[in-house]
Structure 1
Amino acid sequence: MAEAKPIPVFKLYGEQTAWLTPDLLHCEAIADRSRLHDWVIKPHRHRGLYQLLYLNAGDAVLQQDAQQYHLEAGSLVIVPEMSIHGFAFGPKAAGYVLTLAHPLVHRLAQSLPELHAFFSEFVRHRISVSQRRSDIERLLEIINQEYQRDGLGRQVLLESLLSSLFVWLLRQARPQDTHDTPATQDHFGRFTDLIEAHFREPRGVADYANDIGITANHLNAVCRQAVNKPALALIHERQILEAKRRLVYSALTINQIADELGFSDPAYFSRFFKRLTGSTPKGFRTQAGT
């Protein structure tokens, strides 16, 4: 098996250095960057950054880890921190890409706690005309215009516009009568942060609940209310995602991957992987062509 190439980690695509401005937000039209790379953005990931891509017109192919998806006009993609992603844009593709640094998302989430869940997983969503696509397109256009300026109160206005955008998107994504208490939202955000920090360790739901200061039953209720899944499922999903990434994008043996993910028994890791994916680790790697 040929040695797999590592996936680069960028602050922005193709850039290892810091941003040229102190903004915690970067906004640009899809064409501005993709044109420089022949309309193909190769698989990469961002540390400490979240992205939102919206396709106004044309089409594109999204690569998410080892999978590919076709995107049409009206497609919205949410890219969490450190998620492997790439794009191949069609010649008529148009739209915007917002990149938000973790401190900005954290600040916005203080008044809109639902953002923790919103940015916790890779999401592909199609915004139909009946959902008033013009609203999101107009908001993104205004955000882009303000981002290019240096006017009075620029940062305040940008954060206000971002909050409006996310409120609009959250209303489309969940029923109007759904209501989480601030404590529930805060506990779920803390849980997702803890999973990211500790998913390589052999920890159970009770360990995470202990860190948050609630019971395991309470944590399960929080997760079901936020994303309709038990806490253990979210822990397992993150472990499986990392296992898939390493099977596809590294030359590590299956035993090495099992060890790095906190499984002392490689055979148990293989059974765990097959139970949750329907394929053995070896079969998944073979199918991915690495």
Structure 2
Amino acid sequence: MAKPVGADDLAKQVRVEALPATLRPQVLRPCRGQYEMFTHVLLLDAGQAAIEMASGTAEVDSPAGVILPASSAMTLTLGAGTSGWLLGLSPMALANAIGAGPESSLLAPLGLHQIIARDFHPQTVPDPDMLARAILAELARGAEGGQLAVVAYMRLILLSVWRESRVEVSAPGHGSELHILEGFRRTVEVHFRSHKRIADYALLLGITESRLRRICQRNLQRSPLELVHLRMMREATTWLERSGKSIAEIAHALGFAESTEFSHFFKRHSQLSPRQYRETVRRRAEAVTGSLTSFADWP
């Protein structure tokens, strides 16, 4: 079972911002700072937007819904009078919204491609504006069950944009090695804090542990355990760099029973204790960029 996410943690995994109409154009760079790995969803109620990415520029008129993969080069230019919502999901939140079951393979590629639903009038789900407001309310309340509610609302929004776009998003064939790797990635995002055994991950994927190990080694030149540890280290370095939480609080958030256990794990992978790492980052601002690439997402 995945470790429950508290209200403070949930607010760091999900982004919800209302975009009120202004008299002048606005320029947004969504994937900056803590949001650099986020997949974003732009919901336009009124006006126009220009979406500039490395692959080119897309002009979008309201009403529209757009799924935007993580890209540090992405720029959104909202015309005067444009209003709507900007939503964002961390890799973990996206994995939770997509799910890890067999039916989730339809949604699996959504964070990899830009998807535009023009003339966005979804008939199969509640009004996206209402869903965005519901997510904002859940984050503000911090009530029990908030994570489940937010994930459900986000999944409805992703599903509605994908359906209304009428875009055929190609997914790897079921049972292919790429399909299994993507399933493993999503499953790790959901469960890495609970310290599951690799055999448990294989069971969730419906394959043997030895096959999972062979696939990871052949395609990524890493063992499944190394990949899980890379994900855990990326989370740990992010907390150490960008939060004021104590080492003990970070250890608990990552599922370690004792802070000493977390410290041993961290030092084994970085040659620094968590405290030394945090002090190094504070002394040298340039260490932040370097550290993030050292424990980047999977190859």
TM-score (norm 2): 0.47
